[in-house]
Amino acid sequence: MSQEQILSINNLTVEFGSELGTQTALHGISFVMQRGRTTAIVGESGSGKSVTAYSTLRLIEAPGRITAGEILFRPTGLPVFDILALRPDSDALYNLRGNQIAMIFQEPMTALSPVHTIGNQVMEAILTHRPVGKAEAFMQATDMLRRVGINNAAERMHQYPFEFSGGMRQRVVIAMALVCQPELLICDEPTTALDVTIQAEILALIRDLKDEFNSSVLFITHDLGVVAQIADDVVVMHQGRILESGSVRQVLKSPLHPYTRGLLGAMPGLPGLQPRRHDKARRLATVNDSQGTTDFGQHPLISLNDGRRVALPQAKIDEALKP
Amino acid sequence: MSSPQLLQDVSSARLTWLRFKRHRLALASGIFLVVIYLTAGFCEFFAVYEPNSRNPRAIYAPPQQVHFIDPVEGFQLRPFVYGYHLTINPDTWVREYTEDHSQKFPLQFFAPGEAYQFWNLFGASRHFVTVPDTGYLHLFGTDKLGRDIFSRVLYGARISLSLGLLGVALTIVLGVLIGGLAGYLGGMVDNVIQRTIEVLQSIPTLPLWMALSAALPPHWSPLGVYFGIIVILSFIQWTGLARVVRGRFLALREEDFVVAARLLGAGRLRIIFRHLLPSFMSHIITTATLAIPGMILAETALSFLGVGLRAPIVSWGVLLQQAQNFQVIILTPWLLIPGVFVVLVVIAFNLLGDGMRDAADPYGGSNSA
Amino acid sequence: MSDELLRVNQLNVRFPVMSRGLLRRQTSDFHAVKDLSFHLNRGETLGIVGESGSGKTSLVRALIRAIKPSSGSAVFNSSQGQVDLCQLSDKQLVPLRTQMQMIFQDPFASLNPRMKVGEIIAEPLAIHAPASRAEHRGRVIEMLGRVGLEASAIQRFPHAFSGGQRQRIGIARALIMQPALVVCDEAVSALDVSVQAQVLNLLADLQAELGLTYIFVSHDLNVVRHFCERALVMYRGEVVEEGAVDDLFDRPQHNYTRLLLSAIPSIDPDVRLAPLSRASLGLPIE
């Protein structure tokens, strides 16, 4: 694992047990995150994208179980270690969560405690991981709130989450996540619950703050538009397997895997990608149209010369690469 | 993570059962309760004697031990008990019983014994276990009149356990009806019902029960008193269930599938009986299961205090009335055996209720992505 | 305007705001839909777009009388002649329920988990068209075929189906009485994009087959642009702009429409998202 890589997930396998048997959520997936870049995992429900994010912070709870694999993490200036090898109650894991790796969740309301002020919660994040006094923590928290775009930050420190709108709450959550300057920021569908105009603001904010703090971001989403706007690298997941990965331009502009093509084709209202007619014959392409009934998910990933990987037989790749 | 492929074709009832089976304690409690309810239901058969038959040879006699090994013949398959040898302690005048090895009563299963009227329908004399006519069998000992505690516990179980069930049934009817009205009609009706519940719940229950039981006419037949007590206990208990039902109604009324039914043109009755009630039937059953021990305890308490059921009715509370003084604990601790059954049944119902509560929502936790 | 199905005039929806405490008094009200007027032609698809709190859901729920509008009129050209949906009592509405139906957002919450799919789809028949079970069964199976599900589905419970399949069941239930007007309240918003495409295609096919008129509520402008001919843009309970979708999306007139459009993330990584700011458009900040 080279210096430029911050996270390397190898053969990660996660299973969920139920009364009716065991379901495999991740079938031994592997990918690498480059330092200072935003990697997006895109997939539909059941693809295992959130499970991947949760595994990285060891947040998988029973009946879920990580059964195999390693997650290598290299903080700046520190040796590589395997997150999965940490003991459940160890200081190292405690330090990892919130300090080295921070997470932003989909629902800002559930990430904030309704009975504590915003200021207390942001300060809590600082006081847990940094050896600073209350006054200093207050200063840092106020400063952080200002940087995520909250006006009158000092005043709003004393308010409760219900006094904030959804978008403002998500800004607070981002402030809490970034206040300890984590090396890696994991965003699990951070804009899915928000209106489109607020989503645009939050995306811009995450993009700016990532550059400002020089963090690496793992961004989980189902929305290809969001991927296009936020990601440098993309991992396409389906049913617990990676089907395709590469740079955002490679994956979105010249997708190789039929599933990726199907997803793009299924996006409505995209001028240019399909004719938009109002003759009652308007149809969207579906994944089935491009993929047919063939299931390519079982095929091992093949690495191409240009750095991307795709789960297809070589013949199919050659066919797809032809203009 | 959902597992839609696996969940396919599994009915909700089966899913509930699968979840329930995971709770070993609840399952064991359920089996225990089924066994004890069956025993109570057929207590004429399982009991050795009628509840009021007296054995003058055994007054305050301790439980007999069941033996398999005879000092002369060695091990034998058929168990037996020894008769009592009574001595009176000259210092304390306390009866002291020892085993009289010259009297040996072999246990006989499914054999004829004391005659009884089964459910007042027909006469019979076959018992699950009995001893020959000349002997006697007191597995849990006897009381001051020489009545067999084992038989009386079984007869008492019939009264105490059925009272719990009937009381809860009445509670459900009252609670669902009144809570449902409050939740569905809302407004003024809801307000009046809510305030009534609050007033009822603010009255200390035991004094209220005692006052109401004391008000039962003394000339009522034992059966009348039995039903009177059921009504009195349910009169307080329904309020808790009514609140639950009201809350569920209010919440469910806004559920999409209920709104959908309304938009399809479904009438009130159809919505209530097709959509609302089935949706929380499991919830009601669970709440009711957890309410049964309260009923049984309440009956026991009232009868223990002498204001509930009265002799000649035999209930666990009535039986425990004999154990009201501290001498019992030292001299005749077997009179407390009915209390052990009360505790066991109450624990079993609570464990069963907990298991059912967890299993009740077959879709909980299986839809989340 | 020859074949008008619905004409809405000055429609208002207000929700009472109650005080806390023992005596709940109405202290004020929340004005969710303000003096809204529009018309709807037979066979067309009218989109209603807006963000959360814009009043779009309150509007359609009032139209379909899931809630009672406070004032205004909504004249519906039913098969029995013109009726004002706002004036009818719940009882008078019952026969009209066969002519207007709704498809819900949440495919999990909108189907009773304790009823079999066959019972769910047959429920409108049981209410409005009492007939033998066999007859109902025939119609249910036919409807299942139309929405792309197997006949064997009738014996199964909703939890055996995926989100997309459940949405098809909801569609079958809404369409089995052959309504004239179908309100789709964020009907594809909860679905994965590949499933969303299939359901949108299905809705389009069924519209062509059965001559349906759709009111299509969505927060997703791309979906509205794709699926609808005309759209209303709602903002704070009012319609700020109305028109054919192409005009609306290519030449927005109102600043709020411009803001919405600028916030849509492009699928092309080279087209950078550059949302307009509310302040520069003269819109209040959230």
Of B127, B147, B167, the last residue of a domain is: B147
Please, what's the b/e burial string for B298-318 (b: 16 or more CB within 10 A of its CB; e: otherwise)? bbbbbbbeebbbeeebbbbbb
- Is C207's Cβ below 8 Å from some Cβ in A? yes
Calpha distance B233→B165 (Å, rounded): 12
Asked if residue B285 belongs to a domain, the reply is: yes
Say whether both B324 and B182 belong to one domain: yes
The token pair at C29 is 């009200």
Which chains are adjacent to chain C, needing at least 3 Cβ pairs under 8 Å? A, B
Name residue, tokens 């092309």.
Answer: C268
Choose between A291 and B297: higher pLDDT: B297
Specify whether B320 is located in the same domain as B263: yes
pLDDT of residue A23: 87
pLDDT in tens, B249-276: 888 888 899 999 999 999 888 998 889 8
Average pLDDT, chain A: 87
CB-based contact A13:A27 (threshold 8 Å):
yes
Name the more confident of A279 and B196. B196
Q: Is residue B3 included in any domain, yes or no? A: no
Residues whose CB is less than 8 angstroms from the CB of residue A143 and which lie 6 or more positions away in sequence, other chains included: A153
Residue among C166, C267, C278 with most chain A CBs within 10 A, to mutate: C267
Q: pLDDT per residue over B134-176, tens digit each?
A: 889 999 999 989 999 999 999 999 999 999 999 999 999 999 8
| B138 three-state secondary structure | coil
Residue B300, pLDDT above cutoff 60: yes
Q: What is the helix (H) or strand (E) element at residue A134, kind and residue range?
A: helix A134-147
Residue B312: cis peptide before it, omega within 30 degrees of 0: yes
Instruction: Tell which A residues from 156 to 185 touch C, by Cβ distance under 8 Å.
Output: 165-168
Do residue B33 and residue B105 come from a single domain?
Answer: no
State whether B67 and B37 are in the same domain: no
B173 and B98 assigned to the same domain: no
Contact residues on chain A for B15, CB-CB shorter than 8 A: 19
> What gap in Å lies between CA B62 and CA B319, rounded to an integer?
16
Are residues B73 and B221 located together in one domain of the fold?
A: no
CATH code assigned at B262: 1.10.3720.10
B5: in domain: no
CA distance A214 to chain C (A): 20
- For residue B366, the chain A residues in CB contact (below 8 A) are 18
Chain C residues whose CB is inside 8 A of the A222 CB are: 192-193
For B22, the closest of A16, A19, A23 (CB atoms) is A19
Per-chain mean pLDDT for chain B: 86
Q: How many CB pairs under 8 A join B and C?
A: 78
The answer to whether residue B6 is domain-embedded is no
Q: Note the maximum CA span of chain C.
A: 64
Is B349 a member of any domain? Answer: yes
| Residue C224 touches chain A, beta carbons under 8 Å | yes
Specify whether B243 is located in the same domain as B346: yes
Three-class DSSP category at A173: helix
Count of domains in chain B? 2
Same domain, B113 and B194: no
Question: pLDDT band at B328, cuts 50/70/90?
Answer: confident
- Does the pLDDT of residue B6 top 80, yes or no? no
Q: Give Cα B181 to chain centroid, integer Å.
A: 30
Label residues C248-261 b or e (16+ Cβ within 10 Å = b): bbeebebbbbebbb
Asked if B18's CB is within 8 angstroms of A20's CB, the reply is yes
Residue C16 Cα, gap to closest chain B Cα (Å): 14
CB contact under 8 Å between B2 and A46, yes or no, is yes
What is the Cα–Cα distance from A218 to B276, expressed in whole angstroms? 44
**Same structural domain for residues B193 and B303?**
yes
Residue among C224, C218, C136 at smallest CA distance from C172:
C136
Give the pLDDT of residue B366: 36
The 10s digit of each residue's pLDDT in A217-264 is: 999 999 999 999 999 999 999 989 999 999 999 999 999 998 898 888
Q: In this structure, are B201 and B128 located in the same domain? A: no
Contact flag B278-C159 (C-beta cutoff 8 Å)? no
Q: What is the per-residue pLDDT for B283?
A: 81
Whether residue A279 is predicted with pLDDT greater than 60 in this model: the reply is: no
Q: Which residues contact C242 (CB under 8 A, 6 or more apart)?
A: C38, C230, C231, C232, C233, C248
**What residue ranges in C120-208 does DSSP mark as E strands?**
181-185
- pLDDT less than 50: residues of chain C: 1
| Residue B8: closest C-alpha in chain C | C160
Q: Which residues pair with B106 in a beta bridge?
A: B80
Residue C78, sorted as left (phi over 0), alpha (psi -120 to 50) or beta, turns out to be beta
pLDDT score at C254: 93
Q: Structural domains in chain C?
A: 1-17+27-99+198-264 (3.40.50.300), 103-176 (no CATH)
Q: Which residue of chain B is at minimal alpha-carbon distance from C124?
A: B264
The pLDDT confidence band at residue A21, using thresholds 50, 70 and 90, is confident
Beta strands in chain A (DSSP E): 5-18, 21-34, 38-42, 64-73, 81-82, 101-104, 184-188, 216-221, 233-238, 241-247, 302-303, 309-310
Instruction: Give chain B's end-to-end CA distance (angstroms, integer).
Output: 5
Touching partners of B (3+ C-beta pairs < 8 Å):
A, C
Q: Which of B74, B99, B84 is nearest to B135 (CA)?
A: B84
Q: Rounded CA gap, A270 and B269, in Å?
A: 48
The yes or no reply on domain A5-100+182-243 and CATH 3.30.1360.170 is no
State residue B3 phi and psi, 5-degree precision: -130, 70
Q: Give the residue among A207, A246, A301 at the shortest CA–CA distance from A32.
A: A246
DSSP secondary structure of A41-63: EE--TTSSHHHHHHHHTT---TT
When scoring C63, C64, C114, C186 by the number of chain B Cβ atoms within 10 A, the one with the most, hence best to mutate, is C114
Indicate the burial class of A20 (C-beta count within 10 angstroms; 0-12, 13-18, 19 or more): middle
Q: Is C279 on the interface with A (CB under 8 A)?
A: no
Strand-strand pairing, A216-221 and A184-188: parallel
Q: Which residues contact B245 (CB under 8 A, 6 or more apart)?
A: B175, B176, B179, B180, B183, B280, B284
Q: Which helix (H) or strand (E) holds C101?
A: strand C100-103
For A:8-47, CB contacts with C below 8 A are 44-45
Length of chain A: 323
**Does the structure show a pLDDT above 80 at A66?**
yes
Phi and psi, residue A242, nearest 5°: -90, 130
Asked if B14 reaches chain A (Cβ–Cβ under 8 Å), the answer is no
Q: CA C33, CA A140: separation in Å to the nearest integer?
A: 43
Q: What count of other Cβ atoms lies within 10 Å of the Cβ of residue A69?
A: 18
Q: CA torsion, points A270, A271, A275, A278, in degrees to nearest 10? A: 90
Give the domain extent around B211.
12-41+154-360
The Cα–Cα gap between B111 and B132 comes to 9
Q: State whether B181 and B71 are in the same domain.
A: no
Task: Let me know if residue B1 belongs to a domain.
Answer: no
List beta partners, residue B84: B99
B217 and B167 share a domain?
yes
Cβ-defined contact of C194 to A204 (cutoff 8 Å): no
